[in-house]
């Protein structure tokens, strides 16, 4: 009854591995670079590159469940191999962006949507977790802070619903544990709808540091990000932020439904990660 966890170097995957290990559930940590993993004692690691079908058979051997990151390039081959290996259930880390009307044309949402559709067409049982903004997205601001530059925000009044990565991992654990929760999708949000300005104020309190902010035009922000992300992704983010500018996000109770406790606040995340923003 082994659970294969893909993307094990990520915050969610690493937290889920620890949760499974603590419960005594056999878990196999998969990564394209398994030699870089830091795992609990006794946890098996395996090379798995979701862009390389040649790595699928060994990773999936004897696995009965999978926690899957959304990578669409070879999803059909992955699902075929998972079925052949005897996998019974897949929990997908998807995105709430798949719920948008233009998801198929959105470069951020399209890959997640394609994987959800492939799972829906597969005979394998599957459950999709659809989180909104990760609380950890705030770590991008640490780069500017440590370099002495202001944080550039094209839409400082844009709302998000920052979600603690451990809550996502605990939601995945609940779905893996309880067959009665499977076979559907859960849109996951944090407990608060917060603007970027409000998130930065919370980080200032947690760190004791000032976070200088510069409001910039969308065009200027896109230009500043040209070396870090493709233009279509930048456009998609700008469109998303513009749609939420001055409009609080709709919150869901699904973290508490699945985990049995309220979703962790952004303030909790900020206190836990304050050192990441300090020089």
Sequential pLDDT tens for the chain (279 residues): 899 999 999 999 999 999 999 999 999 999 999 999 999 999 999 999 999 999 999 999 999 999 999 999 999 999 999 999 999 999 999 999 999 999 999 999 999 999 999 999 999 999 999 999 999 999 999 999 999 999 999 999 999 999 999 999 999 999 999 999 999 999 999 999 999 999 999 999 999 999 999 999 999 999 999 999 999 999 999 999 999 999 999 999 999 999 999 999 999 999 999 999 997
What pLDDT sits at residue 46? Answer: 98
What pLDDT sits at residue 279? Answer: 76
Backbone phi, then psi, for 140, in 5-degree steps?
-60, -25
What pLDDT sits at residue 40? Answer: 96
3-state secondary structure of 214: strand
Query: Is the C-alpha dihedral spanning 194, 197, 203, 206 positive or negative?
Result: negative
Per the DSSP assignment, residues forming a β-bridge with 3 are 27, 65
What pLDDT sits at residue 1? Answer: 85
CA distances to 42, 208, 219 from 225, in Å: 41, 28, 10
What pLDDT sits at residue 244? Answer: 97
Inter-axis angle of helices 75-85 and 109-121, nearest 10: 40
Give me 168's structure tokens.
């996502």
Inter-axis angle of helices 165-177 and 11-22, nearest 10: 50
Residues with Cβ within 8 Å of residue 235, at least 6 apart in sequence: 222
Domains of the chain by start residue, with CATH: 2-131 (3.40.50.720), 134-163+190-249+264-279 (3.40.50.720)
Q: 102 — alpha (psi -120 to 50), left (phi > 0) or beta?
A: alpha
**Residue (of 164, 6, 15, 174) closest to 93 by Cα position:** 6
What pLDDT sits at residue 52? Answer: 98
Quote the pTM value. 0.96
Query: Is the C-alpha dihedral spanning 117, 120, 124, 127 positive or negative?
Result: positive
Name the helix (H) or strand (E) containing 185. strand 185-188
Q: Give CA–CA dist 212/227, Å, rounded.
A: 23
């Amino acid at each position: 009854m082994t659970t294969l966890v893909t993307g094990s170097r990520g915050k969610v995957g690493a937290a889920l591995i620890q949760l499974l290990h603590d419960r005594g559930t056999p878990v196999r940590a998969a990564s394209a670079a398994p030699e870089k993993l830091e795992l609990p004692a006794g946890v098996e690691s395996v090379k798995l590159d979701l862009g390389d079908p040649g790595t699928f058979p060994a990773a999936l051997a004897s696995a009965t469940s999978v926690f899957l990151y959304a990578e669409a390039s070879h999803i059909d081959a992955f699902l075929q191999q998972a079925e052949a290996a005897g996998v019974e259930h897949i929990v997908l880390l998807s995105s709430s962006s798949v719920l948008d009307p233009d998801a198929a044309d959105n470069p951020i949402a399209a890959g997640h949507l394609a994987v959800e559709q492939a799972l829906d067409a597969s005979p394998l049982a599957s459950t999709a977790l659809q989180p909104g903004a990760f609380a950890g997205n705030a770590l991008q601001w640490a780069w500017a802070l440590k370099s002495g530059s202001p944080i550039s925000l094209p839409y400082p009044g844009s709302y998000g619903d920052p979600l603690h990565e451990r809550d996502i991992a605990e939601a995945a654990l609940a779905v893996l544990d309880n067959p009665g929760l499977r076979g559907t999708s859960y849109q996951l949000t944090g407990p608060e709808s917060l603007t970027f300005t409000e998130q930065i104020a919370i980080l200032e309190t947690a760190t004791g540091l000032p976070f200088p902010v510069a409001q910039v035009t969308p065009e200027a922000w896109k230009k500043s990000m040209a070396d870090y992300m493709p233009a279509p992704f930048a456009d998609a983010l700008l469109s998303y932020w513009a749609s939420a500018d001055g409009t609080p996000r709709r919150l869901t109770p699904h973290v508490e439904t699945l985990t049995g406790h309220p979703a962790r606040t952004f303030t909790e995340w900020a206190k836990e990660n304050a050192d990441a923003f300090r020089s």
